[in-house]
Amino acid sequence: MRCFQGAGAGILQPARPARRLHPGQPAGCSGERAHGGHRPAPAGHALLRGDDRCERRSVAGGRLRRLVRCGHPLHRRRLLSGGPVTGETRAWLAAQADPAYRDFQHKLMPGVENYLGVRLPLLRKAAAELAKGDWSAELAAPDETFEEVLLRGMLIGKAKMDSAARLELVRQFVPCIDNWAVCDSFCAGLRDARIYKEEYFELIQQCAGSDREFEARFAAVLLLTHFNRPEELDRCFEAYRLIRQPDYYAWMGVAWGYSVFAVTDFEKTIAAMETAQLPDVVWNKALQKMRESYRIAPEQKNWAAQHGRGQRGRKQHE
């Protein structure tokens, strides 16, 4: 990298390679003229449009690095016009980055780094498109950003494969989960869990007994997402009793689950909570979520409001 003198002096730019002629380009014709006024973009960079200027950006070490400014209004590239190439996917993600959304995410998930700020609907569309091609190449690539991990989880759920292969990929991915957003999005996309319940329930039981925060949350969230029918509640309560991981996102997943099961059968869920001998903080959070739910009957919300435990419960009865 070096600085050029003259027009645009002081802007850090890559050294220019010797000029090459393109097929059909006459000698002495510049690259811009040969391509209708636009110089071809180097591979691996995304092009952002705005105010008749564009930026080529790439991801290095999980952060956006501004490389070049140019004066031509170029259209945003579509994701993976050919086959899925990890470099192109990474560049496309960088092109969709929204700094304001990145800052918003950081407030929701403190401690998680390497955000780009790509919105969830765009990631879902990307996963759907990648699933149509050679998705195995994407899964084999190392992840550098939060969005790449999230995208890989979505791709595992969307790609066409047999159930045994998907379950094996799920087993490999679960230890990579390190925040609630990846966990909950991944669980929502695992529709195989609704079909192959026995196979997934075995995995759930293993994760429920884990001492790792997000493996325990994975068990809790997968159950509340895909195992909430009346005939499945007993198995869910059995698995929830195995979750003793004390960290915040693990027990929050348990509280959330009980509030979802209460929609299916309120009395049975309350009885299961009492049998489980939940810590006060989990009990109170589950009741709070029941009160906040639009699917819980008013009389059930009143019961929840009157049966808090600990200091919070005493205040409610005063």
Give the whole-angstrom CA distance, residue 291 versus residue 33: 66
| CA angle, residues 145, 150, 155, in degrees to nearest 5 | 125
User: Tokens for 135?
Assistant: 């998705």
With a pLDDT cut of 70, the percent of the chain lying above it is: 70
More confident residue, 150 or 17: 150
Element (H, E) at 299: helix 298-306
pLDDT greater than 90 at residue 211: yes
Q: How many CB atoms lie within 10 A of CB 26?
A: 8
Give the pLDDT band of residue 5 (cuts 50, 70, 90): very low
E strands, 21-159, are 46-50, 53-60, 63-70
pLDDT at 186: 97
Amino acid found at 269:
T
pLDDT at 86: 66
pLDDT greater than 60 at residue 296: yes
Report residue 60: phi and psi, to 5°.
Answer: -135, 120
Distance of CA 214 to the CA centre of its chain: 14
Mean pLDDT of the 78-103 span: 72
pLDDT greater than 70 at residue 273: yes
Mean pLDDT of the 20-42 span: 39
Report residue 262: phi and psi, to 5°.
Answer: -65, -25
More confident residue, 213 or 318: 213
Least confident range from 3-12, 164-173, 209-218: namely 3-12
Mean pLDDT of the 170-196 span: 95
Give the pLDDT band of residue 252 (cuts 50, 70, 90): very high
Highest mean pLDDT among 42-51, 109-118, 124-133: 124-133
pLDDT at 115: 87
Give the whole-angstrom CA distance, residue 70 versus residue 34: 17
